[in-house]
Amino acid sequence: MQLLDAGGLSAVTLRAIGGATGMSQTAPYRHYEDKRSLLEAMVRANLDYFNTALQKAKGDAGSPFGALDHLMRAYFDFAQRFPARYRFLLGVSHEDSLLGAEVRQALGAVTDLVLAAQQAGEIKDGDAKHISALIFGAAYGMADLAVLNREGVAPDLAPLLLDLLLAEKPGAASANNRHHVPAFR
């Protein structure tokens, strides 16, 4: 994964892994049939991270919105710290393969939490898949910012995005008024 983080997908080869670990360059072939099987193992390791983050979010939060908040922050943090891994996972999610289906299922947890938060009246109504796409797109943008300028990627966009999604309560101040941001009309 360090090779992926440092040089992108093209840097990940079985020979490079052998060299990076101090083993012979052919030793990884005893564990992985080919580069694809190695990449599948990497995807599954990252899926384990997301599934753990989901279980933690559900366990730590007192509401669907709280769980969505925790999970979104975990996704944004992952995208910012490991932009190549995040991009790779999203790329695999578009594959018509068993692995692609596994990634889509794991990422579908965000849509499930969006739906639950909508049903609880905690966030705005709308197509939950579109809202999830907005969340993933924002995290993808964070990954791009991290690649372009690691030191300058300080803003945490998760709270801003969540604030935009919050359902308006009757008589409550709008998100724009709470933060004294002028509304553009």
The pLDDT assigned to 112 comes to 92
pTM for the model: 0.74
* 12's tokens: 């990940």
CB 90 within 8 A of CB 43: no
In the numeric block, which tokens belong to residue 22? Answer: 């101090």
Q: What is the pLDDT averaged over residues 138-162?
A: 67
Res 180 pLDDT > 80? no
Residue 124 has a CB neighbour count (10 Å cut-off) of 14
pLDDT digits (tens, 9 = 90+) for 67-115: 988 888 888 888 878 888 888 888 888 999 998 998 888 888 889 999 9
Query: Tell me, what's the pLDDT at 19?
Result: 82
Output the pLDDT for position 149: 67
Query: What is the tens place of the pLDDT at every residue in 2-59?
Result: 888 888 888 888 788 888 888 887 787 788 888 888 888 888 888 888 889 889 988 8
Predicted local confidence at residue 173, as pLDDT: 43
Query: Contact, 23 vs 2, CB < 8 A?
Result: no
Question: What confidence tier does 121 reach under pLDDT thresholds 50, 70, 90?
Answer: very high
Q: Give yes or no for residue 120 having a pLDDT over 90.
A: yes
CA distances from 170 to 64, 117, 122, 138 (A): 20, 17, 12, 29
Tell me which of 119-133, 148-162, 169-183 is least confident: 169-183
Q: At what angle do helices 98-119 and 83-93 cross, to 10 degrees?
A: 100
* pLDDT number for residue 117: 92
Question: What are the tens digits of pLDDT across the range 152-176?
Answer: 654 566 677 777 778 776 544 444 3
Residue-level pLDDT at 172? 45
Domains of the chain: 1-31 (no CATH), 35-168 (1.10.357.10)
Highest mean pLDDT among 130-139, 147-156, 158-167: 130-139
185 has a pLDDT exceeding 60:
no
The answer for residues whose C-beta is within 8 angstroms of residue 1's C-beta and 6 or more apart is 42, 45, 82, 85
